[in-house]
Structure 1
Amino acid sequence: MSNHALLEVIALDAQDAVAAQSGGADRLELVTDMAADGLTPSLRTFTAIRSAVDIPLRVMLRLTDGFTVGGPADADALVRAAEQLREAGADEFVLGFLDDHGQPDLVTVERLLAVLDGCRWTFHRAIDHAPDRDALRKQLADLPGLDTYLTAGSASGVDAGMPTLLAEAARQGEPGYEPLILVGGGLRLDHVPRLRAAGVTGFHIGGAARPQGWAAPVSPAAVREWREALDG
């Protein structure tokens, strides 16, 4: 297995995408509205980014803040958004929903997967809000296309989640633990050595790629610093 670390960077627009690719990002996560922790971007944004770069893109499927899908109309709107993105050429996605009890919302997830039709996808940080992470992984283990968990190990971020991340990294390859662990959520460069030593090979950055804050674009130099830290 390759020890190359995957570096995924959040991109809000084509300028971000070009900067992230030039800095050494392997993949982009496409979102809008970071005030709501990242929602589904417009078709126009997707097509602009897709034509601007040639690295893989994962598009967020999430229309409201939080980790529940909302009511039936909200779920229908999300399915329509997924259909439109697929028709526009999107072929990798990010999604993840819990029910009111913190269990995986399999009804919504399976409706979306029917539209995604075998595309690869990330189950995002909803896992950090589930009361039983192990049970969630086992419930999702057989879903088609699931190849990544984006997680900080804790709803509070990587500082609090480090023990969980290290424990889950030690279980990679077990049933439910085959997908890539993509660490993100308060991730800092000083976390990298411990995570790399534990065998973690996926890293996801948003704010860390924007030293001037979310109102400013991605900095190629900031992305390059991460690339060099991961490759070092």
Structure 2
Amino acid sequence: MEKSQLEIACFNLDSVEIAQANGVNRIELCVNMKEGGTTPDLSLVQAAREKATIDLNVIIRPRGGNFIYTDAEFQEMKESIIEYKNCKVDGFVFGNLNADGSVNREQNMVLVNLAYPLPCTFHRAFDVVTDVSKSLEDVITCGFKTILTSGQGKNVEEGIDVLIDVVQKANNRIVIMPGGGLRSTNIGLLKEKLGNTFFHSSAITDSSETASAIEIIALKAKL
């Protein structure tokens, strides 16, 4: 990647507008910040698509908690992808695991194929896999274009060593997008260690669920 880019996780329409107005490259649309982000409803996706001319990715996660889904939840995920493709979104974000902490290749491949030709990001389920190296290969095999990860740390700073290792092992076969506690105060460190890539932040600096324009500007200044 010639130049670093910025993705902002948006939990409401105000954040979408703020991200759009301040030159963000891509939006990850979700709801329920306290749950780590879950699938937004159709009306929010439609409204966000009307507001945003930049790329709009939608998270497909039927609930918070673990990433091991029942047949009914998996069916819901499939239906959400089909429905939201019709909204002209630009990509999807999800990640399904097995009970042993490995990547559920079968389910993920089904979802990636449903999303095609739209690109898919494997989200922070990657931060709880049991074998990082094997999971990286499985995610690549499933056809994902990006992995969103904190390097299995509580935040990107704590996970920096794993992030460096994953970037090296990925060897440009997939984009490794650091996210999780990424702010203007540490993005410089991450860029220095990882080079140019996509960076992911909510840019939330207060108790709300709305992105801060000032923080987005500060993040971009360090890219």
TM-score range for the pair, normalised by the shorter chain length: over 0.9
For residue 214 of structure 1, report the CA deviation from its aligned partner.
2.9
- The whole-number CA distance in structure 2 between the counterparts of 1:200 and 1:8 is 13
For residue 87 of structure 1, report the CA deviation from its aligned partner.
2.0
The answer to which of 26-35 and 193-202 deviates more is 193-202
Q: Which residue of 2 aligns with 1:150?
A: 148
- The whole-number CA distance in structure 1 between the counterparts of 2:173 and 2:66 is 23
Q: Which structure 2 residue ranges, 5 or more long, are not aligned?
A: none
* Structure-to-structure mapping, 1:63-102, within 5 angstroms: 63-102=62-101
Q: Deviations over 1:73-96 (max 9, x none)?
A: 111111111111112222301011
Q: Which residue of 2 aligns with 1:161?
A: 159
- The whole-number CA distance in structure 2 between the counterparts of 1:220 and 1:188 is 13
Are the structure 2 counterparts of residues 178 and 202 from structure 1 closer, same or farther at C-alpha, using a change threshold of 3 Å?
Answer: same
- The whole-number CA distance in structure 2 between the counterparts of 1:157 and 1:211 is 15
Q: Which amino acid is the alignment partner of residue 165 of structure 1?
A: L
- The whole-number CA distance in structure 2 between the counterparts of 1:210 and 1:91 is 23
* 2:199 matches 1:203: yes
Are the structure 2 counterparts of residues 169 and 200 from structure 1 closer, same or farther at C-alpha, using a change threshold of 3 Å?
Answer: farther
* Structure-to-structure mapping, 1:24-173, within 5 angstroms: 24-144=23-143, 146-173=144-171
For residue 188 of structure 1, report the CA deviation from its aligned partner.
3.0
Q: Which amino acid is the alignment partner of residue 199 of structure 2?
A: F
SS in 2 for 1:51: helix
For residue 172 of structure 1, report the CA deviation from its aligned partner.
4.3
The alignment's TM-score, normalised by the length of structure 1, stands at 0.89
Aligned 8 A contact 1:67 1:96 in 2: no
For residue 116 of structure 1, report the CA deviation from its aligned partner.
0.9
Q: What is the root-mean-square deviation in Å for CA atoms of aligned residues?
A: 1.7
Structure 1: 4+ residue segments shifted above 3 A: none
SS in 1 for 2:130: coil
SS in 2 for 1:57: strand
- The whole-number CA distance in structure 1 between the counterparts of 2:175 and 2:113 is 22
The answer to which of 25-34 and 69-78 deviates more is 69-78
For residue 131 of structure 1, report the CA deviation from its aligned partner.
1.0
